[in-house]
Each structure stands twice: as structure tokens, then as C-alpha cells.
Amino acid sequence: MDASISLRWSGGPLRGLAHLPASKSEANRALILHALAGGGQLSNLSDAHDTQLMQALLAAVPGTDQINAEDAGTVMRFLTGYLAVTGWRGELTGTPRMQERPIGVLVGALRQAGADIAYVANDGYPPLRLNGFAPTAAADGPTRLSVRGDISSQYISALLMVGPYLPGGLQLTLTGPVGSRPYIDMTRALMARFGAPSQANADATELTVAAGRYQAADYAVESDWSAASYWYAMVALGPRGSDITLPGLRQQSLQGDQAIAGIMAHFGVETTYLAAEECVQLRQGPRPSGAEIRRLDFTNCPDLAQTVAVVAAALALPVDMVGLESLRIKETDRIAALQTELAKFGGDLQEVEAGVFRAMSQGFRVAGQTVATYHDHRMAMAFAPLALLGPLVVAAPQVVRKSYPQFWRELAQAGFATNEAG
């Protein structure tokens, strides 16, 4: 029997305090920078599997010639850059799904910079064979690389973080539209914390990093705004009077997924920053009517899309969602997964025009359906708040370990009845 978890709300308003994991986006960047700097103290590192995996693999690098990034995108992309410029020799691989996720843009750029990288099986995809780094001295300034701006920001961040170690530094040009810009800004801010500031032109399409070395630094990782999004969904769907407090979140955050505060205002969730305590309080305010179809852009915060689509359908407050292109190449095809699972409840995610998806519903009902999770942590956590509307079963609940290992425990402490089987 496959594992599953049954969820049921105990009744009454949702109230109390919920603990979030630390941001794995911040943590995995800080771990790479810390390794390159060779010192400093990192605190509040996430217990998410991706972060624990990054720590373990960085510690193992000196004594191994094979590294498995499993299903972790940041681990695969960031380690590709790190291992290339540090001259490591060996094979970098991942799960079967990871071997379907493209990496050719990053490998091509690193090859231009002097990395010897070969594809073990299919061109443009892991596994990779790294055979050292032989940079050509820059006679006329920095190493000049150019990549598309609409590719995964993880490629861009991987290149920026190794920029100080390239001949003459790095001048990186981003062509075309730039997606997920907050993640690029996060990378640059953390690089500056470790002593390697970058420069940008007026529209931040040309980024320059001087040659040099990182400096050891201490850094405390913020709690995860992506994880906070699920509690926003619970307050939005909860009984009247629901509120929840989330510690460890900063009003001046490096995380682009802080955008959830503004997005969820459309669904009646009010956000109050308790600055002295680094806390956020969420309260359920008046819900708007569904007469107007709002247009929301997820170009800079694609990890919020599943959460918002589920809430919009559940509340029958339709939204048009754009900027979802990267969802096709995540842990699963998240657009197809959302369409399949929402249909079980009377919801829909319909492409109403090219690149525009409308989340909507007719007769949305939660009555014991089982949600498939597709090896995707965000599918599990985006649908779990529906248990506030009726009994629900989530398949393969262990997938949450990737980013929020304590998620089910936090739901139980908040008042959900949880029953794991299998």
C-alpha cells in the first residue's frame, strides 16, 4: 500500500503560531559562498532535504569522484558551477527526473570560461563528467559570457557566484526578458555579504563581478517565505476569524516569494509585520467578490503559483496567471499536475490565451478526494490547506522533506487531525 496522509480540520477558526523552515534558497547560496570563502559561521540553516544534501555533498567533495544531487535543482546547478571552477574531477548525477531537466545553457557558459565538462548520456542534460578547469588569462578585462534572461535563474546565480574566480572576473549579459529576478538579486546581495559586490547597468541586464576572493562572513538565514505561502492559503480558506503568526520573517527580505503578502491580499488575507520580533501576523479580512478576474504575474515568484491556483479555485475567485513557463520543468510538469488534481474538486486551470492560465471553479467541493503529488513537495503543500473545507487525503506525504520536513507536524499542532497510512 502506498503511503498517504488523511487530513481533517477540527473546527473553529485557525489560530496560533506556526514554525517555518529556514529558506533553502538563501541557505544553498550561502553554503556555496561559505565553501568558496573558506570560513565564517552560518546559522539557522534549513532542515530541508535540499539544504542537508548540499551540506553533505560539499563536505564530501575532497574525497569522492561521484556526486549525486538527487532531485535538487539548486544543488545540481550551483554545484556544477562550484565544482567546475574549483577543478574537481568526477561525475555529477541526479535522479531520473533530474536527468530530464536541461542544464546545457550553464554547461555551455562554463565551457567558454575554461571548464572541461562532458555529457555522460544525453547532450544538454545530466549526468555530467567534470574534468578540471583551465582558464585562459583575460587580456582585455573580465570573462564575458551571455545567457538568455528567461532561463532558470539558478543558471544565472551559479555563474554569478563563481564570477570572482574566472579570469578577470565576470561580465554576464542577460538577453531578452529576465525572469525570477528576485532570485538573482538575492544571489548578488549574499555575494556582497561575503565580500564580492557586483555591478549592474541601468536595467540590470549586464552584471559585472570583479576578480578576487570571497571573505569569511557570518550569516543567519531567514525563514522561508515560500513555506509561509501555505499558511497564507490556510488563513484564506479557514473559518471566519482565522489568524496565524509566523516567526522569523523579515519585512526587508531578500526572498522574492515575499510577494505572497501582496498576492493574498486579493483573497482577503491581511499581513502585519511585527518588526521588533521578526514575525508576520496573518489575519483573515473581508473576502472580495469574484466579479473581477484579476491578472497575477508569477514571472518572479513561480513557486507561489500552485498555492494561488488552489486558493483561487477553492474560493471561486478566478485569476488569470502569467509567467508560468518554468513550471513545466520543475520536479514535475506543474501545470499538467495542477490541471489533473484541481479537476477532482471541480476546479480548473485553463489556458485562455497563449501563456495565460485561468484558475477557476464551478461547484468546488472537498469530500475525501486523494491528491497525487507527483514527487513534488509543492503539490502536497499547495493542496493540503483544502482540508479546512472538508476531509482530504494526500498521497506520498514524505515529499515535503525536500523543503519543509515538519509540515505535517505543524498542521497537527495547529489543530488538524492527521492520520498517516502505508
User: Looking at this protein, which amino acid is placed at residue 39?
Assistant: G
Exposure letters 265-293 (e unless 16+ CB within 10 A, then b): ebbbbebeeeeeeebbbbebeeeeeeeee
d(CA 299, CA 187): 17
Active-site residue identified among 50, 243, 257, 303: 303
Q: Catalytic annotation on 376?
A: no
C-alpha distance across the termini of the chain, in Å: 5
402 appears as a binding residue in the annotation: yes
Strand partners, 353: 356
Nearest to 234 by CA among 301, 338, 307: 307
Q: Is 8 annotated as a binding residue?
A: no
Q: Is 243 annotated as a binding residue?
A: no
Q: Is 152 annotated as a binding residue?
A: yes
Which residue bears the cell 503529488?
A: 373
Task: Give the C-alpha distances (Å, rounded to integers) separating 311 from 268, 293, 357.
Answer: 11, 14, 14
Q: How many CA atoms lie within 13 A of 314 on its CB side?
A: 27
The answer on whether 344 is annotated among ligand-binding residues is no
* 320-337 b/e (C-beta count within 10 Å ≥ 16 → b): bbebbebbeebbbebbeb
Q: Is 378 annotated as a binding residue?
A: yes
Distance CA 53, CA 101 (A): 19
Instruction: Tell me: is residue 101 an annotated ligand-binding position.
Output: yes
Is position 330 annotated in a ligand binding site?
yes
Q: How far apart are CA 100 and CA 328, in angstroms?
A: 11
Binding residues, as ranges, are 24-25, 29, 73, 101, 152-154, 180, 303, 330, 334, 378, 402
- Residue ranges at the known binding site for 3-phosphoshikimate: 24-25, 29, 152-154, 180, 303, 330
Catalytic machinery residues: 303
Q: List, as residue ranges, the binding site for phosphoenolpyruvate.
A: 24, 73, 101, 154, 334, 378, 402
